[in-house]
Amino acid sequence: MFDGRDPVYLQIADQIRQDVLSGALGAEEQVMSTTQYATTFRINPATAAKAFAQLVDEGVLYKRRGVGMFVAPGARERLLADARESFFTDTVDPVADAARVLGIDVEDVVARLRARAATPAPEGDHP
Amino acid sequence: MTAAVAPPRVSPTAHTARRLAVALLQMAGWFWGIAIVAIVAGNVIGWAVAGATDVSIAIYARQAATWFPFSLAIMLVAAYLRVHVAAGMTRRSFVRAALVVEVGAGLAYAAVLTALVLAERAVHDALGWDSVITEVQVSDASSPVWALFLDQAVPFVLGNLSGLLVGVVYLRGGAWWGTLTLPLTVGPLAVSMYLGGARLMELPGIWTTASDTQVLLLGAGVGAVFCLVTALVFAGLARRAPVTARP
Amino acid sequence: MTTTTTGWGVELRGVTQRYGDVVALDDVTLTVRPGTITGLLGRNGSGKSTLGSLLAAFRRPTAGRVLVDGEDPWENERVVPGICFVRESGDVLEDYPLKDNLAYVSGARPTFSHELAGELMDLFELDPRRKPSKLSRGKKSAFGIVLGLAARAPLTILDEVHLGLDAPSRYAFYETLLADYAEHPRTLILSSHLIGEIEQLLEDVVVLDRGRVLVAQDAETLRAEGLAVTGPAPAVEQFVAGRDVLATQRLGGTVRTTVRGALVEGDERRARDAGLELGPVPLQDLFVHLTDPQRTGSTVGPADGEVAR
């Protein structure tokens, strides 16, 4: 758990973003409190609080005074829009770069994408 | 955050004094229980052997009642100073608590022993026996109660204070210093215990001409000075004592 | 009267502690931020326990000043009830039952929580009628934890209190500590050899080495400074040139070098282009490298960092 090279609070924020994106955390759903998060994953509460603060700034979560943190309405849509925006730069562009290096024709890549899109998605399609 | 209401907090001195008093009281219970059995047994044996016990057996507890609490006082410093400081209290309050409890214990032991001697004397009187006091001290069977009490109280209180001093010297200086300084730490107690008794020997000086009361009061005065000095040295050493790990 | 516990800050200014010829702490200047969980790391004999003893006014430094919440704690009636130092050896009444010990300590600590003490006694399956002298090492450690956490002292120092505890008990300890810390903020100084286990608990880290402060910074920055560079030997050597190399391990033609120092702009790209893998360094490893006795200082050349393992 949390053994990447990024600061732990970024990893936590990322995980919550993924949960919102995948629908595991729905809109208006309450997320774990800082204390719950800290004890569950045995991390410093300040670290968890930092992750939550970032997500509040981004509008993914919002705070209800005295109750806790909730997923903001429309958070998933916003995250999806962001992800779509970065999809081409983060995912497609490297493919094109790699294809050029390997001498693969772009048309072959496009054909592969079409074929792949036509077959049903396999179970548990997660990295 | 929920605001918890703090329980009424006693002063650290009173808190530790209570704890020390409980510990000493437990030991005192054992000590006097055994002492009473021994005193009764001594009387019975004297009667069985000689037909009558014409000496006070109870007063023989004087030595034990000096040295047993003395050894407890040594252990008390070793066991409690560390725990007292670790519980978030100052050495100053420990010193106060220890002094109050040990002086109190000395007076209490003196009162108990005096009461036992008097009770035994009442029994002896009823049986037509004598109650001669052979222990090295000033007061005898004819002395008033206060004199008998004073004769015990001085060495008992000083013994306890010496115990505290020996304890803290061992704690701070280790075995070597603790042992080397014994003449200084225990010397006053030995002097105080035998000061009155020295009069019984044919020594020159005021001893031979002074009255019992004069000698007793002089002894009490010297004893009080010893007590004060011992307590001050103990306080000075204990208030600077580092708390080391348990050996 | 109400008690609100907030953490107390700690400051040491030029603190030296000698035991005869042995220098346990050597001119230490250090600040511990109030309200943090600070890890106090160091090899055996590095001065961790001495530091705790000074903060808790168990002893007085040979030289320098110790300040807790702005005041010298020595014989300080305001400050000492709020400092709780629990060490592995245990400072309890050995021959009295645990419940007597709890009663004694709670009477001396204004912030003591009987509720938490009860929970922890149950959690660690401690029988209040037992005497400390009759407890196993693990149970003794557990009782130290009970006293240390239930005291809710604004400055709590736990020195190797996990010794003898099995893994489930240790995890229970970490969880209770975090939960209670979140509810009742205080300054916690935690010293442990199990760095991997407590790493994520820490906000700040202090590393002592032979009586001196080697590192004092927030855990996140320290972690970010550790970098493991893995790849073909020549590429690694080129990449780490000029960096603070802590250790190098060789496996055939592949080299894994641990360096200290944050990455700068372009480093990641350079590494990727050179076929190098950049990985995190667990705090434990960073600690081992930093306190390696063969290291002479914090600035060593690449050749010195060789570690045979």
Can you give the CATH number for the domain in which C131 is found?
Answer: 3.40.50.300
> Are both C81 and C190 inside the same structural domain?
yes
Contacts of C49 in chain B (CB under 8 A): 245
C295 domain residue, yes or no: no
Q: What is the pLDDT of residue A121?
A: 67
B19: nearest CA partner in chain C: C104
Distance of CA A81 to the CA centre of its chain: 12
Q: What is the pLDDT along chain C (309 residues), one digit of tens a residue?
A: 344 447 999 999 999 999 989 999 999 999 999 999 999 999 988 999 999 999 999 999 999 999 999 999 999 999 999 999 999 878 999 999 999 999 999 999 999 999 999 999 999 999 999 999 999 999 999 999 999 999 999 999 999 998 889 999 999 999 999 999 999 999 999 999 899 899 999 999 999 999 999 999 999 888 888 888 999 988 998 888 888 888 888 888 889 998 888 788 888 888 888 888 888 888 888 888 888 877 654 433 333 333 333
Task: Say how many CB pairs under 8 Å bridge B and C.
Answer: 89
- Total domains in chain C come to 2
Asked if C120 and C155 sit in the same domain, the reply is yes
CA of B63 to nearest chain C CA: how many angstroms apart? 27
Q: Is the residue at C3 inside a domain?
A: no
Residues C158 and C234 in one domain: no
The minimal CB distance from B87 to the residues C90, C109, C184 is found for: C109
Q: How far is A122 from chain C (nearest CA, A)?
A: 31
C76 in a domain, yes or no? Answer: yes
Residue of C nearest to B247 (CA): C89
Q: Is A94 on the interface with C (CB under 8 A)?
A: no
| ipTM metric | 0.88
Same domain, yes or no: C124 and C267: no
> What pLDDT does B140 receive?
80
Residues of C with Cβ-Cβ distance to B87 under 8 angstroms: 91, 104-105, 108-109
Residue C275 structural domain:
224-290
pLDDT in tens, B210-244: 778 888 888 899 999 999 999 999 999 999 999 98
Same domain, C175 and C277: no
Average pLDDT (B133-155) is 87
Q: Do chains C and A touch (3 or more CB pairs under 8 A)?
A: yes
Q: Interface of chain C against chain B, CB under 8 Å?
A: 1-4, 49, 53, 56-60, 75-77, 80-85, 87, 89-94, 104-105, 107-111, 113, 151, 153, 183-184
Distance from CA of A93 to the nearest CA of C (A): 16
Selected residue of A3, A5, A8, A40 to mutate for chain C interface (largest C Cβ count, 10 A): A5
Nearest CA in chain C to A5: C280
User: Given pLDDT bands bounded at 50, 70 and 90, which one contains residue B199?
Assistant: low
| pLDDT value of position B206 | 62
Whether residues B242 and C58 touch (CB distance < 8 A) is answered with: yes
State how far the alpha carbon of B163 is from the alpha carbons of A20, A69, B76, B223, B231, in Å: 71, 63, 9, 15, 10
> Is the same domain home to C121 and C21?
yes
Indicate whether C42 and C106 sit together in one domain.
Answer: yes
Question: For position B137, what pLDDT does the model report?
Answer: 80
* Domain match, C260 and C117 both: no
CB contact under 8 A, B9 and C107: yes
Q: What average pLDDT does the structure give for chain B?
A: 89
Residue-wise DSSP of chain C = -EE------EEEEEEEEEETTEEEEEEEEEEE-TT-EEEEEE-TTSSHHHHHHHHTTSS--SEEEEEETTB--TT-TTTGGGEEEEETT--S-TTS-HHHHHHHHHHH-TT--HHHHHHHHHHTT--TTS-GGGS-HHHHHHHHHHHHHHT--SEEEEESTTTT--HHHHHHHHHHHHHHHHHS--EEEEE-S-HHHHGGG-SEEEEEETTEEEEEEEHHHHHHHEEEEEEEHHHHHHHHTTSEEEEEEEETTEEEEEEES---TTHHHHHHHTT-EEE---HHHHHHHHT-TT--SS---GGGGB---
pLDDT tier for residue B198 given thresholds of 50, 70 and 90: low
Residue C184 domain-assigned (yes or no): yes
Q: Are residues C201 and C250 in the same domain?
A: no
Residue C250 is predicted with a pLDDT of: 87
Let me know whether C117 and C253 are in one domain. no
The pTM score is 0.86
Task: Say which CATH number the domain at C232 has.
Answer: 3.30.70.2020
> C185 and C245, same structural domain?
no
- Over the stretch B44-90, which tens digit does the pLDDT of each residue have? 999 999 888 999 999 999 999 999 999 999 999 999 999 999 999 99
- In DSSP notation, B125-157 reads HHHT---B--SSSS--TTS-HHHHHHHHHHHHH
> Is the Cβ of A45 closer than 8 Å to some Cβ of chain C?
yes
Q: Do residue C2 and residue B9 have CB atoms under 8 angstroms apart?
A: no
Number of A/C CB contacts below 8 angstroms equals 52
Does C1 reside within a domain? no
C204 and C257 within one domain: no
Q: What angle do CA C141, C194, C134 make, to 5 degrees?
A: 15
Q: Residues of C at the A interface (Cβ-Cβ below 8 Å)?
A: 36-37, 171, 174-175, 178-179, 181-183, 200-203, 219-220, 223-224, 227, 278-280, 282
